[in-house]
Structure 1
Amino acid sequence: MALLHRATLRPSKLELLASWLPGRPWYQGPADADVVTRGSYRFDDPAGEVGLETILVGVADGPVHQVPLTYRGAPLDGADEWLVGTTDHAVLGPRWVYDGTADPVYAAVLAHAILGGAGQAEEYFEVDGRREPREQNMTIAGSGAGDAGMPVVGPVRRVVDGDAALIITDAVELVVVRRPVEGAVGAEGANLSGTWKGQPTAVPLAYARVR
């Protein structure tokens, strides 16, 4: 379960992404374009410390780009090159926003979502002491068989960024599809697929292979 706050972020997520995306090797679009959200989904951090949100963004009629983000209350050691930016959350205070491909918490929950078949987190707003469900704008599904034999993912050893971002850990190799499209040639292993408004047919979003 993801418990959200109706709070202002300065700068906003999309403002951070508009500045950060043009520097990525897999980004396709003008450097000064306004980015818009096509859909998003969240995972739960079992420890409840790190926010985990994947946003699908695009520009005008351009391709959809998949950007996993992690939100932390303090800097992540050794991850400066993966910092998307910092923002001030009206409730939680300063937040460090990272490209999730380099965050070990994201790697662990992504592996669980794919190999264990875990779905996305249910999202709620907390309003006056009660929880109000937030309507989800994406549906995702993992092809894994369940939790039996789930490996311990451990730290991220290496990230090879590109159209398909490769995340290497001791136990699992993960692939995040940066520009998910229907009919794309997939990687080996179990997969995470998703649908969103304008994309009613499920397309691969990520893959996992036990090493």
Structure 2
Amino acid sequence: MALLHRADLTPSKLELLTAWLPARAWYTGPAEPALAKVGAFRFDDPAGEVGVETILVRAGDGPVLQVPLTYRGAPLAGADRWLVGTTEHSVLGRRWVYDATSDPVYACALAHTILTGAAQAVEEFEVDGVRRPRRSDVQTTAAGSSLVAEVTGIVRVDDRDPAVIATDVLDLTVFRILEDDPDPAPAAPTLTATWEGIAAPRLLAYATVR
């Protein structure tokens, strides 16, 4: 369960991404993108310390881009090159925002979701002491697998499209650019998603157990 706060972010998530995206090697849009949010979904951090959110954005009439992010209350050691930026959260204070492909919490959550067929996090707001659910505008489906593997760390990250996160037990392939006519799903456990305006699920990621 992801407990969300009704809060202001300065700068906003889209403002952070507008400055960060053009410098990515896999980004092919305009140098000063006017980003629009397509949707988002979250995973749970079992420890409850790290926010794990995947945002789908579009620059103009370009393709939908998948941008997984993690939100931390302190810097992630050794991850300076993956820092998207910092933002001031009106409830939680300063948050360090990372490209989640470098974050072991994201890798663990993504692997668990794909292999077990788990659902995305249920999102709730607390209003006057009462928690109220919020329906996500992106719905994910994990195929599940008979394979069992528990990720404990990241070995390396290939920062391209698709990004490849090599962990201690498996490889996670994460698609950055979600084309209108995607390639067929691989013969591997997958994560797909649907959102308003698309006719068929899009492949977001898959896992290859070594």
TM-score (norm 1): 0.95
Runs of 4+ in structure 1 off by over 6 angstroms are none
Distance 1:90 1:205 in 2: 31
Distance 2:183 2:28 in 1: 16
- Alignment partner, residue 174 of structure 2: 176
Deviation at 1:60, TM superposition (A): 1.5
Q: Secondary structure at 1:199's aligned position in 2?
A: coil
Q: Secondary structure at 1:109's aligned position in 2?
A: helix
Q: For residue 207 of structure 1, what is the amino acid of its counterpart?
A: Y
Following superposition of structure 1 onto structure 2, how do residues 184-195 of structure 1 map, counting pairs within 5 Å?
A: 184-195=183-194
Kindly indicate whether the alpha-carbon contact (under 8 Å) linking 1:188 and 1:209 is maintained by their aligned counterparts in 2: no
- Alignment partner, residue 56 of structure 2: 56
Following superposition of structure 1 onto structure 2, how do residues 112-151 of structure 1 map, counting pairs within 5 Å?
A: 112-145=112-145, 150-151=148-149
Q: For residue 135 of structure 2, what is the amino acid of its counterpart?
A: E
- Alignment partner, residue 110 of structure 2: 110
Deviation at 1:54, TM superposition (A): 0.1
Distance 1:150 1:74 in 2: 31
Kindly indicate whether the alpha-carbon contact (under 8 Å) linking 2:112 and 2:150 is maintained by their aligned counterparts in 1: no
Q: For residue 208 of structure 1, what is the amino acid of its counterpart?
A: A
Distance 2:148 2:195 in 1: 28
- Alignment partner, residue 75 of structure 2: 75
Deviation at 1:149, TM superposition (A): 5.2
Distance 1:149 1:33 in 2: 41
Deviation at 1:50, TM superposition (A): 0.2
RMSD: 1.2
Matched, 1:206 2:208: no
Aligned residues: 209
| Contiguous gaps of at least 5 residues in structure 1 | none
Query: Alpha-carbon deviations, 1:57-107, whole Å to 9, x = none?
Result: 111211111000000000000000000000000000000000000000000
CA separation of 1:200 and 1:3: change in aligned 2, threshold 3 A = farther
Kindly indicate whether the alpha-carbon contact (under 8 Å) linking 2:115 and 2:147 is maintained by their aligned counterparts in 1: no
Kindly indicate whether the alpha-carbon contact (under 8 Å) linking 1:188 and 1:207 is maintained by their aligned counterparts in 2: no
- Alignment partner, residue 155 of structure 1: 153
TM-score (norm 2): 0.96
Distance 1:188 1:194 in 2: 17
